[in-house]
Structure formats: structure tokens, C-alpha cells
């Protein structure tokens, strides 16, 4: 993704919080690092911000699966099977956006 090795532990922890809990908790954990200047590089802040920006987490997938299952109860098992695939695709999309942002910031 382009995060410095010194910040990789923090970035991984925040992305894990986003995936397991939600993006709001991850942003709350991220905010003290933003308020302290010089703690993180600008590129790292941008990459983490892009990686946290999205609804790729278990709670959001549960809401989507529940809503679609209510609309079409007969297809609920099929919808539930696609939930984890949707979570994986959404997570990869978020991480790809963060990687592209890191690439372009690295060019500057």
C-alpha cells in the first residue's frame, strides 16, 4: 500500500478495527495521531484515511444481507453466501483506493 514500515503496525491495526468493528471506531482510534503533528508522514495519513473510508465491515454486510433477505426471503441462503464475497470485494476495493492514493502522493 505504501505505508512506511514504522507505521505499518498502526495501519494494520486500524484496518483490522474497521473490518471487525466499523469505520467510526477506527477513525476515533486514528484521530489522536492526526492531532499530534509529526507523528505520521503525510503519505501514511492519506493512505490510512483512504483505507478507512468505506463500509466494508461485518456489520454493514449484515445489514445488507438482512435487507435483501427481507426483500426476497426465498433467496436468503444465496444472499447469505454472497455476503462474505461482498465483504472481501469491498475490502479489496478500499485497499486498492488507498494504494492508488499512496502511489500518487508518492509521485509528488
Confidence of residue 89 (pLDDT cuts 50, 70, 90): very high
Q: Which three cell numbers stand for residue 103?
A: 502511489
**Residue 32 CB coordination number (10 Å):** 9
Query: What's the pLDDT at 108?
Result: 77
Q: Which pTM value belongs to this model? A: 0.87
Decide: helix, strand or coil at residue 103.
helix
Q: Which three cell numbers stand for residue 33?
A: 495521531
Q: List helix spans (H) across the chain.
A: 5-20, 23-35, 42-52, 58-71, 76-107
Confidence of residue 32 (pLDDT cuts 50, 70, 90): very high
Quote the Cα angle for 14-18-23, to 5°.
110
pLDDT at 38 over 90: no
Amino acid at each position: 500500500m505504501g505505508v512506511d514500515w514504522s507505521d505499518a503496525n498502526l495501519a494494520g491495526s486500524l484496518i483490522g478495527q474497521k473490518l471487525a468493528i466499523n469505520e467510526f471506531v477506527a477513525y476515533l482510534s486514528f484521530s489522536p495521531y492526526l492531532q499530534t503533528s509529526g507523528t505520521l508522514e503525510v503519505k501514511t495519513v492519506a493512505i490510512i484515511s483512504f483505507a478507512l473510508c468505506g463500509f466494508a465491515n461485518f456489520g454493514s454486510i449484515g445489514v445488507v444481507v438482512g435487507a435483501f433477505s427481507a426483500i426476497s426471503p426465498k433467496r436468503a441462503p444465496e444472499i447469505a453466501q454472497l455476503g462474505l464475497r461482498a465483504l472481501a470485494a469491498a475490502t479489496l476495493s478500499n485497499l486498492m483506493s488507498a494504494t492508488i492514493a499512496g502511489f500518487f502522493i508518492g509521485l509528488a
